Structure 1
Amino acid sequence: MTNPSQVDDISIGGEVIRLGQFLKFAGLLDSGGDVKAAIVDGDVTVNGEVDRRRGRQLHSGDLVGFDGRTVRVRP
């Protein structure tokens, strides 16, 4: 389980964002190719579960994990 003090909040400036976009926006990955590979390989979690959909809609409060880092979506 993730310690809440180790979660960074990332403000997206709106209500929703797609998972692939968020990974780049949050600085977790640099390119679309890296995003696609990480998601397909099952290296990305949303709310603690592996999610392989780049187009998944994220909402405020969702937790995204990658490479030992967890970030929370904020509007």
Structure 2
Amino acid sequence: MVPPVFIGSVPSGMELAVMAFLLILIAAVAYGTVWVVRAVSDRGGSDLEARVEHLEGEVAALREDRRNREEP
């Protein structure tokens, strides 16, 4: 295996281009990962909110039923 050209010297244009490409690639993968995690988190939150609203409605109905039983 041939060692990189820039060992002991300044990197040339091709080495700089490859380093820039790798940095951009790593940044794109990180951005995509963060985007996917946020998309999944937001979707789960709306389902949770809908479930909480449904359970609050059930609790209100049970309280009303309990009041009706206690009144007579």
Give me the TM-score of the superposition, normalised by structure 1.
0.17
TM-score (norm 2): 0.18
Higher strand share: 1
- Structure 1 or 2, whichever has the larger Rg, is 2
